[in-house]
Amino acid sequence: MEKDVLAKNALLAERNRGWLEGRQILALNVMSSPGAGKTTLLERTIERLSGDRPISVIEGDQATARDAERVRAAGAHALQINTGTGCHLDAQMIADGLRRLEPAAASLLVIENVGNLVCPALFDLGERFRVVVISVTEGDDKPLKYPHIFRTGDVLVLNKVDLLPHVSFDVRRFLDFANRINPRLRIFQVSATRGDGLDAWCQWLKSSMQTTA
């Protein structure tokens, strides 16, 4: 049953990928545990990049439209998808969302997945890059405890580095674990609230959008 579900999802994801690539839309699938700071990172990113290209966001949560409202207030077009008891978005949800959202050609699409380090990693959505956001408040052993999401990721954002003086988090140990799981990871250390590292993150996004166009 699980194989059938994932196979169907993979087919739909490839259709999504073709649709996005045909319109030169750079799509990111942003995944994290709850509270890692995905939405705050999106708000700061939108504020910095909104003058460069149109930005659209698909927000995934079990309930409420709070994150979509925050993203709209930051200046992006947003669609909220509520999964109810579901713990992840899937390719069909994204296909339906793309029809409703109608992101502009040559734009940036960010999919903020449901907060979960397990299920979202199993489901391809048709994205170009998978972005894993981890905060320093979560513990530096996350790559060992949840290896699949790190193994399938393209980009790792270590967020809330402004809190490092106040928490027990060994950055070197964390990065060593992450690189053991996936040495291909592109890594950014940021504070979405204070602004640390956001210039490098946004410059990578700009370069990636230019490559997509």
User: Across residues 114-137, what is the average pLDDT?
Assistant: 98
Q: Is the pTM of this model over 0.85?
A: yes
User: Across residues 145-162, what is the average pLDDT?
Assistant: 98
| pLDDT attached to residue 1 | 65
User: Across residues 138-164, what is the average pLDDT?
Assistant: 98
**Residue 132 is encoded by which pair of tokens?**
């894993």
Q: Do the beta carbons of residue 89 and residue 111 sit within 8 Å?
A: yes
Q: How many CA atoms lie within 13 A of 150 on its CB side?
A: 21
The SS3 assignment for 27 reads strand
Q: Do the beta carbons of residue 30 and residue 94 sit within 8 Å?
A: no
* Domains, in order of start, for the chain: 2-212 (3.40.50.300)
| pLDDT one-digit tens code per residue, 166-190 | 999 999 999 999 999 999 999 999 9
**Residue 34 is encoded by which pair of tokens?**
């709850």
Q: Which of 102, 107, 142, 120 is nearest to 29 (CA)?
A: 120
Contacts of 113 (CB under 8 A, 6+ apart): 29, 30, 31, 32, 60, 88, 89, 120, 125
| pLDDT attached to residue 50 | 85
Q: How many Å apart are CA 45 and CA 71, to the nearest integer?
A: 10
Number of Cβ within 10 Å of residue 65's Cβ equals: 15
Question: Above pLDDT 90, what percent of the chain?
Answer: 94
Confidence of residue 52 (pLDDT cuts 50, 70, 90): confident
| pLDDT attached to residue 156 | 98
| pLDDT one-digit tens code per residue, 5-31 | 999 999 999 999 999 999 999 999 999
Distances (CA, A) of 14 to 87, 130, 191: 21, 15, 34
User: Across residues 113-132, what is the average pLDDT?
Assistant: 98
Confidence of residue 160 (pLDDT cuts 50, 70, 90): very high
Q: Do the beta carbons of residue 40 and residue 135 sit within 8 Å?
A: no
| pLDDT attached to residue 47 | 96
DSSP type of residue 79: E
Give the type of residue at 51.
Answer: G
Number of Cβ within 10 Å of residue 32's Cβ equals: 27
User: Across residues 139-156, what is the average pLDDT?
Assistant: 98
Confidence of residue 119 (pLDDT cuts 50, 70, 90): very high
- Tell me what the pLDDT averaged over the chain comes to: 97
User: Across residues 152-165, what is the average pLDDT?
Assistant: 98
**Residue 35 is encoded by which pair of tokens?**
């509270």
